[in-house]
A and B are shown apart, each in its own frame.
Chain A
Amino acid sequence: MAEVVDSVWSERGTSPGAIEAALRALLTERHRGELGAQPARALNLVCVVDRAWSGEIANRLRGVGRLHASRTVVCSVETGPPARTQLDARVSVTGPVGGDAPLVRETVVVSVGERHLEHLDTIVDPLVVTDVATVVWAPHGHPEALDALTTRFAGGPPIAQVVLVDSLDEPDPRAALERVGALARRAHVVDLSWLRGTPWRERVAAAFDPPARRPELRRLAGVTVRHRRDSGVAALLLAGWLAARLGWRPAALLRDGDALTGRLTSRHGDVRVRLEPDAEMAAPGLCAITLHGASGGSLELSRGIGGLRARRSDPTGAQRTWTVLGASRGEPGILGEGLRQALLRDPIFAEALGAARGMAA
Chain B
Amino acid sequence: MADTLTVNPLTAGLERLPVHPTTLVIFGATGDLARRKLLPALYNLAHEGALPERFHLVGSSRSEMADEEFRARAADAVRAFSRRPPDEAVLEALLASSCYVSGSFDDPTVYERLEAVLTAHDEEAGEPLDRCFYLSTAPSFFPVIVRELGARGLDTHAGTGGLEGAQARVVVEKPFGSNLHEARELNAQVLDVFREGQVFRIDHYLGKETVQNVLAFRFANAMFEPLWNRNYIDHVQITAAEDIGIGSRAGYYDASGALRDLIQNHMLQLLTLLCMEPPVSFSADEVRDEKVKVLRAIRPPAAGDAVRAQYTAGTTSGEAVPAYRDEEGVPDDSTTETYAALRLEVDNWRWAGVPIALRTGKRLARKVTEIAVTLKPVPHQAFGMDGAVGPQPNQLVLTVQPNEGVTLKFGAKIPGVGGPNSRMRVRPVNMEFLYGTAFLSQSPEAYERLILDAMRGDATLFTRNDEVEAQWAICEPVLNAWAAERGGPATYPAGSQGPAEAEALLEGGWRAI
Binding site for B on A (CB under 8 A): 38-43, 66-70, 100-101, 103, 199, 201-212, 214-215, 217-218, 242, 245-247, 305-307, 310, 312, 314, 320, 322-328, 336, 339-340, 343-344, 346-349
Contact = CB atoms under 8 A, between A and B. Distances in A.
A204 B93 contact: no
Contact of B1 (A207, A246, A326, A336): A246
Given A38-B436, A305-B93, A339-B440, A325 B13 contact: no
Contact of A41 (B18, B94, B438, B442): B438
Given A312-B126, A324-B49, 16 more contacts: A41-B438, A42-B438, A103-B436, A205-B10, A205-B18, A206-B18, A209-B20, A210-B21, A214-B8, A217-B9, A218-B5, A306-B90, A314-B126, A326-B48, A340-B440, A348-B13
B8 A340 contact: no
Nearest to B20: A210
A246, A307, A314, A336: most-surrounded residue (chain B CB, <10 A): A307
B440 A38 contact: no
B406 to A, nearest CB: 13
B93 A210 contact: no
Interface stretch (B52-60, B108-116, B178-186, B350-358): B52-60
A318 to B, nearest CB: 8
B79 to A, nearest CB: 15
Contacts of A100: 402-403
B93 A205 contact: no
Given A40-B436, A245-B10, A245-B12, A325 B5 contact: no
B90, B92, B127, B440: most-surrounded residue (chain A CB, <10 A): B440
Contacts of A202: 14, 16, 18, 49
B436 to A, nearest CB: 5
B487 to A, nearest CB: 39
Interface string B434-446: 1011111110000
A322 B9 contact: no
A40 B52 CA distance: 34
Interface string B1-40: 1000100111111111011110000000000000000000
B1 A247 contact: yes
Contacts of B55: 325
Interface residues of B, number: 51
Contacts of B96: 323
A207 B49 CA distance: 13
Given A40-B437, A245-B10, A325 B94 contact: yes
B442 A66 contact: yes
Interface of B: 1, 5, 8-16, 18-21, 46-49, 51-55, 87, 89-94, 96, 124-127, 159, 163-164, 402-403, 405, 432, 434, 436-442
A210 B402 contact: no
Given A210-B20, A325-B46, A41 B10 contact: no
B125 A42 contact: no
Given A38-B436, A205-B11, A206-B18, A199 B49 contact: yes
Given A214-B8, A245-B1, A43 B46 contact: no
Contact of A214 (B5, B127, B434): B5
B5, B402, B405: most-surrounded residue (chain A CB, <10 A): B5
Given A307-B49, A325-B94, A320 B125 contact: yes
Contact of B437 (A38, A66, A214, A326): A38
Nearest to B49: A326
Contacts of A203: 49, 53
Contacts of B127: 210, 212
A67 B48 contact: no
Nearest to B125: A320
Given A41-B437, A41-B438, A348-B13, A209 B8 contact: yes
A305, A324, A325, A327: most-surrounded residue (chain B CB, <10 A): A325
A201, A305, A306, A328: most-surrounded residue (chain B CB, <10 A): A306
B445 to A, nearest CB: 15
Nearest to A310: B53
A199 to B, nearest CB: 5
A35 B15 CA distance: 37
Contacts of A40: 436-438
Nearest to B89: A306
Question: Shortest 9 CB-CB distances between A and B: which pairs?
Answer: A306-B93, A326-B49, A348-B13, A206-B18, A205-B10, A325-B46, A209-B18, A306-B89, A214-B5
A100 B47 CA distance: 28
B440 A43 contact: yes
Contacts of B11: 205, 209
B49 A325 contact: yes
A147 B96 CA distance: 52
Contacts of A103: 434, 436-437
Contacts of B442: 66
A348 B12 contact: yes
A310 B14 CA distance: 20
B123 to A, nearest CB: 10
